[in-house]
Amino acid sequence: MTRDEEPEHSPNDDGTDDRSDATTHSDENDDSTRSDGRPSDTESGSAGSDPKPRSEPESESEPEVESESVRETERGSGVEPDSTPTGTSVADDGENGKGGHNGDNDAGYDRSDETDHTDDARDAADGDAADHDDGDDADHGDYNTGRDTDGDADVGADGTSFNFGSGSRSRTDVDLDVDEVLSDEDDEASTGLFDDLLSGEPIFENKEVLRPSYTPHELPHRKDQINKMATILVSALRGETPSNILIYGKTGTGKTASAKFVSQELESTSQKYDVPCEVEYINCEVTDTQYRVLAQLANKFIEKNETVIDDQLDDLRDLRSAATDDDSALDGTEFASVSDVDDRIADLESDREEMEEVPMTGWPTDRVYSTFFDAVDYHERVVVIMLDEIDKLVEKSGDDTLYNLSRMNSELENSRISIMGISNDLKFTDFLDPRVKSSLGEEEIVFPPYDANQLRDILQHRSDIAFKGDALTEDVIPLCAAFAAQEHGDARRALDLLRTAGELAERSQADLVEEAHVRQAQDKIELDRVVEVVRTLPTQSKIVLFSIILLEQNGVHNVNTGEVFNIYKRLCEEIDADVLTQRRVTDLISELDMLGIVNAVVVSKGRYGRTKEISLSVPIDETEAVLLSDSRLGDIEDVQPFVQARFDN
Ligand SMILES: Nc1ncnc2c1ncn2[C@@H]1O[C@H](COP(=O)(O)OP(=O)(O)OP(=O)(O)O)[C@@H](O)[C@H]1O
């Protein structure tokens, strides 16, 4: 029945991959560097061209260690300010010594302005003492001010109480009050590191609304697209089949958010008017084979059918017991007798029993298809199947799924389906069978990028819910909007920037989010991107990049391909990797250029011809750290000597 009846035993059929999986580097690429004579992906030209391999089997042991170190570096670069404005510890009575956090903890609050303690006092504090400290005692040599907040003695770690009333401290003034100690200990137990952080006035009212998972109720500047979708889909509420829709637009232009918004409205209106209409959403970046798409749909409909059957069975059993007592209960129903009701109950029970869930692997695709078909056609309804990132499905497994889905209506008896495909790749339809292409693209809706003013409106709407009143200085939203407008009008980027800026402000315990926080956020997001791109490069590209870094570290800037190739060869020998040709290395450098990791410019050298000058466009230390986190490059020991050796040549 289906065009493709091959079972698809995709390595991903375990249902475990997700977007993050899709960005980890592939083992296949690593294979390219083995010197065991096996065919090399990289040499064949495939590796290196895709910095984000999709849901292939991924190396699950992606090294985490170095990303930590990169994060450390970020902190060091001022991304996470490490001190608290003076006086913020006022509310911290008794907490300085908690768990050994004594003023220089790494949670972003620093009590260094009150560290004028004696060593003994510090010992006491470190030892989990109930050291009451009111935060404005920066200038005296005593452990505490005498403004003892509980009006009684303070107690050291060893159970000794200190009398601070005189402003001096003496171990001879031991005056231990056991109840006090115990009650102080109780206080200690109830306050701690997190209480301290929580006690600050948070900047956020509801941070969740800035996350991608949040579906906004208002979508400024998408009215036209939303109305067009609604105009097409309204026929579902009339029991007719809506045209298939293709939605295009660059990333972050609100395609998914708008489509989900319209779907929610459609479903709620269908409930209001009691019209059977359902929307099923599938993210094809995750569910990227025909088997998995059909299995997921089949299981969703089976679950819904079971609920419908259970409800009907409940009603029938009630009717049956009423009719057993009094025949007239059947008046006005389709049943003439109690035995008719029994027959219907038996039918439904057998239907329910036959509904078998599709396993995520193992069945022939044809069986999955027919199970899905039966499930969707079980009762009358209009179904809209929303295939987000539809291009990923086509790229991974061709257009068979779309072909089969788009032909179903001619065979379905009770139900009708309509497909809504969403893509940020405008060209993916070039790869479709012409019949699929024309059927799928009955209606097309384009989502243009947002400009800075539109992004500003979007941010304003969200920030009203996300932040406490007046938490943002007035330049924050325009700056986030301007940065994101440069990134092809990406609302996701704008929201990420705003959220990250808020988090940075919160971590530094600032009262307001300011322009500087947005700039730090921009740097942080950019660095995260670089780290991710570098981390997922094929090993050969990593070696080439590492060669460029080594040259730069040794003071050689604007290097040419020959120089890179020399170092590259030495590195390959060192880690026992295949050595590609210089021509191939030149290609890899061009790919790094396209990814924005290096800058390669062709310069004319007069009668010596033209040459490529290559320089690094990303932060050198962080990039090196990421490269060294690769287990193969991590094997490179003491690279310094041979870089120098190269210059000695
Ligand atoms: N007009 C808008 N108003 C409010 N929020 C928006 C708007 N447009 C986009 N967003 C938000 O921006 C983020 C990205 O939007 P969405 O996921 O819909 O983009 P997309 O076009 O589907 O991107 P991709 O192609 O990468 O999946 C989401 O958090 C979404 O809520």
Integer Cα distance of 150 and 321 in angstroms: 71
225 C-beta closer than 6 A to ligand 1: no
| Closest residue by CA, ligand 1 atom 26 | 251
pLDDT of residue 323: 86
Q: What is the predicted pLDDT for the residue at 139?
A: 36
Distance from residue 333's CA to the centre of ligand 1 (Å): 49
- pLDDT: which is higher, 133 or 583: 583
Least confidently predicted of 7-11, 351-355, 493-497: 7-11
pLDDT in tens, 179-207: 554 455 555 555 666 666 566 667 888 88
Average pLDDT rounded to a whole number, residues 488-505 = 92
Residue type, 20: S
Could you tell me what percentage of the chain is helix, strand and coil, using 3-state DSSP and rounding each to the nearest 5?
50, 10, 40
pLDDT band with cut points at 50, 70 and 90 for residue 156? very low
pLDDT digits (tens, 9 = 90+) for 206-233: 888 888 888 888 899 999 999 999 999 9
Q: Is residue 420 predicted with pLDDT exceeding 70?
A: yes
- What's the pLDDT at 440? 87
Four-residue CA torsion sign, 400, 401, 402, 408? positive
Q: Does the beta carbon of 449 sit less than 6 angstroms from any atom of ligand 1?
A: no
Which segments are annotated as binding site for ATP? Answer: 253-257, 450, 462
pLDDT computed for residue 484 by the predictor? 92
Measured distance between the N- and C-terminal CA atoms of the chain, rounded to whole angstroms: 69
DSSP per-residue string spanning 463-477: HHHHB-TT-B-TTHH
- Tell me, what's the pLDDT at 57? 32
pLDDT of residue 93: 36
Task: Give the closest residue (by CA) to ligand 1 atom 9.
Answer: 254
Helix runs in 238-382, H state only: 255-272, 290-325, 338-354, 365-376
Average predicted confidence (pLDDT) for the chain: 74
Q: Is 222 in the pocket of ligand 1 (CB under 6 A)?
A: yes
Residue 490 has pLDDT above 60, yes or no: yes
| pTM as predicted | 0.62
For 23-45, write each residue's pLDDT tens digit.
333 333 443 333 333 333 333 33
**Whether residue 317 has pLDDT greater than 50:** yes
Q: Does 55 score more than 90 pLDDT?
A: no
**Of 256, 393, 422, 487, best ligand 1 pocket probe by most atoms within 8 Å of the beta carbon:** 256
Confirm or reject: Cβ of 491 under 6 Å from ligand 1: yes
Ligand 1 pocket member 103 (CB < 6 A): no
Q: Which range, of 29-33, 89-93, 558-562, averages the lowest pLDDT?
A: 89-93
599 Cβ closer than 6 Å to some ligand 1 atom: no
> Ligand 1 pocket test: which of 253, 422, 450 has the largest number of ligand atoms within 8 Å of its C-beta?
253
Residue 257 has a CB neighbour count (10 Å cut-off) of 20
pLDDT at 555: 84
Instruction: Mark 328-365 as b/e (b = at least 16 C-beta within 10 Å).
Output: ebbeeeebeebeebeebbeebeeebeebeebebbebeb
In this predicted structure, the answer to whether residue 316 has a pLDDT above a threshold of 50 is yes
User: Is the pLDDT assigned to residue 147 strictly greater than 70?
Assistant: no
Indicate if ligand 1 lies below 6 Å from the C-beta of 262.
Answer: no
Nearest CA to ligand 1 atom 4: 219
pLDDT grade for 635, boundaries at 50, 70 and 90:
confident
Q: Answer whether 212 contacts ligand 1 (Cβ < 6 A).
A: yes
pLDDT tens digits for 243-278?
A: 999 999 999 999 999 999 999 999 999 999 989 999
Nearest protein Cα to ligand 1, atom 18: 254
Domains of the chain and CATH, by start: 1-199 (no CATH), 223-447 (3.40.50.300), 452-527 (1.10.8.60), 537-636 (1.10.10.10)
Q: Is the per-residue pLDDT at 372 higher than 90? A: yes
Give helix 640-648 / helix 539-553 axis angle, nearest 10°. 70
224 lines ligand 1 (CB under 6 A): no
Find the length of the chain.
649
**Is the predicted pLDDT of residue 459 greater than 60, yes or no?**
yes
Checking if the pLDDT of 565 tops 70, the result is yes
The ligand 1 atom nearest the CA atom of 260: 18
- Considering only residues 508 and 583, tell me which one the structure prediction assigns the higher pLDDT: 583
> Is the CB of residue 252 below 6 angstroms from any atom belonging to ligand 1?
yes
Q: Cα(250) to centroid of ligand 1, in Å?
A: 10
Rounded distance from Cα 527 to ligand 1 centre (Å) = 22
Residue 310: pLDDT band by 50, 70, 90 thresholds? Answer: very high
Q: Is the CB of 251 under 6 A from ligand 1?
A: yes
The residue that leads in pLDDT, 115 or 626, is 626
pLDDT for 281 equals: 95
Q: Cα(214) to centroid of ligand 1, in Å?
A: 10
- Ligand 1 site, residue 497, Cβ cutoff 6 A: no
Q: Is 220 in the pocket of ligand 1 (CB under 6 A)?
A: yes
Question: Which comes out higher in pLDDT, residue 545 or 431?
Answer: 545
In this structure, which residue's CA is closest to atom 13 in ligand 1?
A: 492
- Checking if the pLDDT of 77 tops 80, the result is no
Using CA atoms, how far residue 252 sits from 53, 182, 420, 646, in Å, is 20, 56, 18, 46
